[in-house]
Structure 1
Amino acid sequence: MSKLWNFLAMVWYQLTFKPQPLPDNIRLDGLTAIVTGANVGLGFEAAKELASHGLSKLILAVRDLSKGEAAKAEISREAPECEILVWKLDQESWESMVTFSRRVSIELDRLDIVLLNAGLKRLEFTQSPTGHEAHIQINHLGTALLSLLLVEPLRRTARQTGKPSRMTITASSVAFAAPVQDILEPKGGKGIIPWLDNPGSFIPGDSRYSLSKLLDVLWTRALAARLDPTDIILNTLNPGYCKSAFHRVDATAEWASSFLAWSSAEGGYHLTDAVVRHPDSHGEYLSEQRIRPVPRIASSAKGKEVQTKLWDETIALFKAECPDANIDEFTRGE
């Protein structure tokens, strides 16, 4: 019943809500932003909108540099005064993420906005080069590690400017339909991540993508509880169902987009809205460009236990597999 209700709710807001761009009077002059997954789709549209509001410097964090350069050229035509840099970032490589974060610390004199948008959707089990299931590696682990690695430059800027920096993680309303049993009672006795890395846990279709987006919500809440919102406002959001290459692996989703989907630009409006507006949204989930309730599992007592377990497992994994990451602040007492 809950899956049907969530589906009907999604159809309702897709058909009745009209996403709005940032108001013209919002200016980002002098600010520096990073957008991951910025060469295509919602990330590209969000990066373009940020640049059009006077952003001083924009880092397009992309896996494919040539595609990043093409995105830069297009954004530059609309926002010629914004300095746009294309930096390599591969969320399937610990080394790439650590190198990226060190580059941020060395080459940027400030960092005001981070939009962690990179992700993937697949319908079959795929293993990342790190050995983890691809959704778990890219959508959860890669996003989580970057969120930790970029805390210090964001915090440093906030203390220099006297106003909080911003970080947003792209989630999705599909988190409400995630198969929660896989994280409530993971099989094998080794924990949530080891179970999700097991091919036997994978059900063909989009359920693993949905679950990875629930993990994004849980991670956002766990990290937000450890951050001071006067330094960094961290939130997560649902960008809605949008027409983009992201769903190219899913024929059903592609077909349904003809009737329900917003444009990529309208999806991008949700991203920029979350990362620029809503100063009261620390640790919150936004949908339809406003703060909304999180999935029930995330707010339940059992869900809070899962959130703690996910945090502990993820931090322990980073310590073991990515010892070069500078996340000591988050490992004390672990």
Structure 2
Amino acid sequence: MGFLYSQFLVRPSYPTRSFEGETVLVTGANVGLGLEATRHIVRLGAARVILGVRNVEAGEAAKKEIEASTGRSGVCEVWKVDLASYDSVLAFSDRIAQIPRLDAAILNAALATDNFELAEGYERSITVNVINTLLLGLLILPLLKATRQRFPSTRPRLAFVVSEVHAWADTTEIADEGDRILKAISDPTKAKMSGRYYISKLLEVLLVQELASRVRGSEVIITMLNPGLCHSSLGREAGLGFMLMKIILARSTEMGSRTLVAGVSTGLEGHGAYMTDGQVENMALSPFVRSEEGSQTRAKIWNELSTILEGVRPGIMENAQ
């Protein structure tokens, strides 16, 4: 009932917080929620907005559309990043590290697919939604922290776009997989792709919780947000059932994008929190996430992720301090 109530009766607040003088990063910014959130942030006065996109041509088209609709040019920059590739994420983050400041980042890019395919040795949606999303978050943390030091009036924010469908995940898929959960669910003989997006978002929620527990909110406010079911390009590779659900239940893309902007507008109350409809709602987290079993799973996948990411960029886990 909570899901239906939210979809049909709740309208997240229209964004009004000023981003004047700030530099903001949005991944998946050329379509859907990312595009509309970027439009809001440009409208609200950001000095520089980096559109992290896989398709640069589509990103340039989005940039022109945003400039035309907001009347602001010279703000948006289109940078390529493919979250299915370690090398692409590393190159992108190394480029980010060269800019003078980063006040906020919305890690929005994600994949929902019923098709099994490997990327960097893991099932592709696990690579995109979990491993490389956390990789990127960890890689940009030093600049977010440095921005706080260089510009004391700002409070950097790092928002991960998760989903309420984390509560729909079949946790039996990960229950008996020992200490290598990410690797086990990337086995094509075991993968349950019809529920893979749900599992990926559950794992992301657990990992963002752990990351936020290790980083002081006084340095960087780390939050995770649920935009609700929205019209977007997310399910372009998903099955018919997902598409039909969107047709019937989805809220508008612009309405959902307000929750993304809320995620980088929150104060300390948002650190480590789960936000839905633009508000902190920790009790909306699934019973599994709030359980002892969930805590144990969180520790296992954090350790597994740490090993993976240290192999990609040695020393990276020191950023989570």
Fold shared per TM-score above 0.5? yes
Q: How does 1:287-306 map onto structure 2 within 5 Å?
A: 287-292=276-281, 293=283, 294-306=285-297
Q: Deviations over 1:120-162 (max 9, x none)?
A: 000132222x121011100000101001001000000011222
Take 1:165 and 1:70, find their aligned partners in 2: how far apart are those partners?
Answer: 28
Q: How does 1:255-274 map onto structure 2 within 5 Å?
A: 255-274=244-263
* Match in the other structure for 1:221: 209
* Match in the other structure for 1:101: 93
Q: Does the 8 Å CA contact 2:109/2:129 hold for their aligned counterparts? A: yes
* Match in the other structure for 1:87: 79
Percent identical? 31
Q: Say whether 1:149 aligns with 2:145.
A: no
Alignment match of 2:182 (pick from 175, 178, 193):
193
* Match in the other structure for 1:3: none
Take 1:113 and 1:103, find their aligned partners in 2: how far apart are those partners?
Answer: 16
Mark the CA change 1:221 to 1:202 in structure 2 (over 3 Å): closer, same or farther: same
Q: Does the 8 Å CA contact 1:21/1:273 hold for their aligned counterparts? A: no
* Match in the other structure for 1:13: 6
Paired positions, count:
316
* Match in the other structure for 1:159: 149
Take 1:10 and 1:284, find their aligned partners in 2: how far apart are those partners?
Answer: 19
Superposition deviation, residue 102 in structure 1: 1.0
Q: Deviations over 1:264-318 (max 9, x none)?
A: 1111111111111343110110112211122221121221111111111001011
Q: Does the 8 Å CA contact 1:120/1:139 hold for their aligned counterparts? A: yes
Q: Which runs of 5+ in 2 are unaligned?
A: none
Mark the CA change 1:204 to 1:153 in structure 2 (over 3 Å): closer, same or farther: closer
Take 2:89 and 2:186, find their aligned partners in 1: how far apart are those partners?
Answer: 21
Q: Say whether 1:46 aligns with 2:37.
A: yes
Q: Does the 8 Å CA contact 1:315/1:331 hold for their aligned counterparts? A: no
Alignment match of 2:130 (pick from 137, 140, 143):
140
Q: Deviations over 1:159-197 (max 9, x none)?
A: 1222420000010010001111223321xx562111111
Superposition deviation, residue 77 in structure 1: 1.4
Amino acid of the structure 1 residue aligned with 2:272: G
Q: Does the 8 Å CA contact 1:149/1:326 hold for their aligned counterparts? A: no
Take 2:315 and 2:310, find their aligned partners in 1: how far apart are those partners?
Answer: 10
Amino acid of the structure 2 residue aligned with 1:155: K
Q: Match of 2:76, SS?
A: strand
Q: Does the 8 Å CA contact 1:19/1:269 hold for their aligned counterparts? A: yes
Amino acid of the structure 1 residue aligned with 2:225: L
Q: Deviations over 1:88-136 (max 9, x none)?
A: 1011111111111111111x111000100000000132222x1210111
Q: How does 1:270-281 map onto structure 2 within 5 Å?
A: 270-281=259-270
Mark the CA change 1:100 to 1:31 in structure 2 (over 3 Å): closer, same or farther: same
Amino acid of the structure 2 residue aligned with 1:43: G
Take 2:183 and 2:20, find their aligned partners in 1: how far apart are those partners?
Answer: 45
Take 1:171 and 1:307, find their aligned partners in 2: how far apart are those partners?
Answer: 16
Take 2:268 and 2:44, find their aligned partners in 1: how far apart are those partners?
Answer: 18
- What is the root-mean-square deviation in Å for CA atoms of aligned residues? 1.6
Superposition deviation, residue 200 in structure 1: 2.1
Take 1:93 and 1:161, find their aligned partners in 2: how far apart are those partners?
Answer: 33
Q: Match of 2:264, SS?
A: helix
Amino acid of the structure 1 residue aligned with 2:44: H
Superposition deviation, residue 60 in structure 1: 0.3
Q: Deviations over 1:208-241 (max 9, x none)?
A: 1001001111111100011010110001011001
Take 1:190 and 1:284, find their aligned partners in 2: how far apart are those partners?
Answer: 26
Take 2:260 and 2:307, find their aligned partners in 1: how far apart are those partners?
Answer: 30
Superposition deviation, residue 255 in structure 1: 2.1
Q: Match of 2:105, SS?
A: strand
* Match in the other structure for 1:173: 164
Q: Say whether 1:118 aligns with 2:106.
A: no
Take 1:297 and 1:124, find their aligned partners in 2: how far apart are those partners?
Answer: 26
